[in-house]
Amino acid sequence: MKVRKEVEELDPYVPGRSKEEIAQEFGVKKEDIIKLGSNENPWGPSPKVKEAIEGELANINRYPESDLEELKKEFARYSHVKPEQIIVGGDGADELIDTLAKTFIEPGDEFVVPLPSYMYYEFLFKPYGAIPNYAKWNLETNTLDLDSVLNAINEKTKMLFLCTPNNPTGALISQDELRAILDKTNKSKGGVCDAVVVIDEAYFEYSLTNNVNLLDEYENIFILRTMSKVMGLAGMRIGYGISSKEIIEFMHRIKPVFSLTKLSYIAALTTIKDTEYIEKSIKDGIESRDFLYDEISKMKSVKVYKSYSNFMLIDIHDTGYTAAEITREFMKRGMIVRDCTSFKGLDEYYFRISICTLEEDKKFLEVMREILNE
Ligand SMILES: *Cc1c(COP(=O)(O)O)cnc(C)c1O
């Protein structure tokens, strides 16, 4: 059977590992595993969600809502925009990346992504015949290499993926940098092309900043958000996007109609209204991140990157381990960390950890000191 060339040539996406896999492979008890691999919320979902889902269970013989009006209103309120500027994804924010490709990409179009960054962009864009044009992050200064992004933009550029805070480096892109990029991708502002600039704010809450204000100045922005991180709903697969009314309208024409299940819908609605839960998740997350950063900074054999997110990247060039080896050492001891070898733009000497509860953080640090003899 002959499949499409784009499918034949696709690099598989390497996700973070699950507790089930590690329990089986290393013979550790699932309940004892500490997961620092996938940037989830370690405190669980909003306590109101369980009851809301239980209340909805009797209705799952019915199709979900398709226009999601109430949920769009809530996302609009939370983001300080209008409901017509919101689109909701039912396989998380990942579904909206796919919808962006379906809406905009013709085979041969280019997209720009500074490396290292989230690998799912190219995983979803390549099947549509889109061609990556890589720019870079400067790992020495932990800042965006703005010139590399500006130089990567040409007449064929259709989309850019700018992740801020960036996964896996944790650094932010400034609004001056974003404006320079937006000007070059906007013919009405003297740019060389008309491209959509995707600003991936999957982790914006942890940075206490966002870029919604730029929507008043530029039409070609798509802000990508998710309920998988601070909102504690990674297993329910809910994402949303914010853009101009026009772009949102085109995307709705092609988006899967029923992809957000009834249970995900009720979980999303309940969580976004639970201001107390969201504020506590952010506050505790930042506290955990700063604690981990301070403690890891004291270790002599590694370099930890300052992060505005709920994870941080660790450089282990001087430890004698590769990321695959050190990840194995952690897993043997019941801790899941993310080997970053599969991230383009990083060599095999980086791993990433995400925040946990303070108690788990302390256990993790103990194990890390043991592995590194610190
Ligand atoms: C987690 C993540 C997403 C999307 O997550 P979903 O679970 O699909 O909503 C998007 N971008 C980045 C950078 C992420 O880390």
- For the chain, which residues make up each domain, given as ranges? 5-44+276-372, 47-274
Which residues have C-beta atoms less than 6 Å from ligand 1? 39, 92-94, 118, 163, 167, 200, 202, 226, 228, 234, 239
Cβ atoms of residues 149 and 196 within 8 Å? no
pLDDT digits (tens, 9 = 90+) for 165-214: 999 999 999 999 999 999 999 999 999 999 999 999 999 999 999 999 99
Atom of ligand 1 nearest to the CA of 91: 8
- Report the pLDDT value the prediction gives residue 259, as an integer from 0 to 100: 95
Top CATH class, 47-274: alpha beta
Atom of ligand 1 nearest to the CA of 118: 13
Probe target for ligand 1 pocket from 94, 97, 203, 204, with the most ligand atoms within 8 Å of CB: 94
Cα dihedral 143, 146, 148, 149 sign:
positive
Atom of ligand 1 nearest to the CA of 229: 1
- Report the pLDDT value the prediction gives residue 66, as an integer from 0 to 100: 87
- Report the pLDDT value the prediction gives residue 212, as an integer from 0 to 100: 98
pLDDT digits (tens, 9 = 90+) for 288-302: 999 999 999 999 999
Cα dihedral 112, 118, 124, 129 sign:
positive
What fold, for 5-44+276-372?
A: Aspartate Aminotransferase, domain 1 (3.90.1150)
- Report the pLDDT value the prediction gives residue 14, as an integer from 0 to 100: 85
Same fold, 5-44+276-372 and 47-274: no
pLDDT digits (tens, 9 = 90+) for 204-244: 999 999 999 999 999 999 999 999 999 999 999 999 999 99
Is the model's pLDDT at 15 over the cut of 90? no
Is the model's pLDDT at 351 over the cut of 90? yes
Our measurement of the distance from residue 315's CA atom to the centroid of its chain's CA atoms, rounded to an integer in Å, reads: 20
